[in-house]
Amino acid sequence: MKARVSIRLKSAILDPQGKTVQQALQQMGYSDVSSVRIGKLVELEVGGNDPIEVRTKVEEFSRKLLTNPLMETFEIELVRDVV
């Protein structure tokens, strides 16, 4: 099964990278872009077909390794293999 983990910086955390991109966009003339936040997308192939089991496993390692809960949140999206 495919899993996608979207990782975002918590809203309380400043994102200097996003700020820099926002400023660049404004300089390019996109003056109505009022906020840019940059995160990460992790795409995985995970064994197993039970979505609950797979989700539990992905959640577990997302908390342990893929994210740092002090500064990031994450969302998991599962995509069933087409047989």
Partner 1 sequence: MLSKQPIDVVVFPGSNCDHDAFDIIGRMMGHPVTEVWHQADDIGNAAAVILPGGFSYGDYLRSGAVARFAPVMDSVVDFAKNGGPVLGICNGFQILTEAGMLPGVLMRNSGLRFICREIYLRVERDDTIFTRRYIKGQVLKIPIAHNEGNFYLPEDQLDELEANNQVVFRYCDRKGNVTPEANPNGAARNIAGIINREGNVMGMMPHPERRSDPLLGKPDGADLFRSLVDHVNGR
* Residue reference for tokens 């992905």: 58
Q: Measured from the CB of residue 52, what is the shortest distance to partner 1 in angstroms? A: 25
Number of residues that bind partner 1 (CB under 8 A): 11
> CA 56 from chain center: how many Å?
17
Q: Measured from the CB of residue 44, what is the shortest distance to partner 1 in angstroms? A: 13
Q: Of 43-72, which residues contact partner 1 (CB under 8 A)?
A: 65-66, 68, 70-71
DSSP state of 42: E
Q: Of 2-21, which residues contact partner 1 (CB under 8 A)?
A: 12-14, 16-17, 20
Q: Measured from the CB of residue 18, what is the shortest distance to partner 1 in angstroms? A: 11
The count of other CB atoms within 10 Å of the CB of residue 62 is 20
Closest CA to 54 of 81, 83, 78, 75: 78
Helices marked H in 1-50 — which ranges?
16-27
Residues forming the site for partner 1 (CB under 8 A)? 12-14, 16-17, 20, 65-66, 68, 70-71
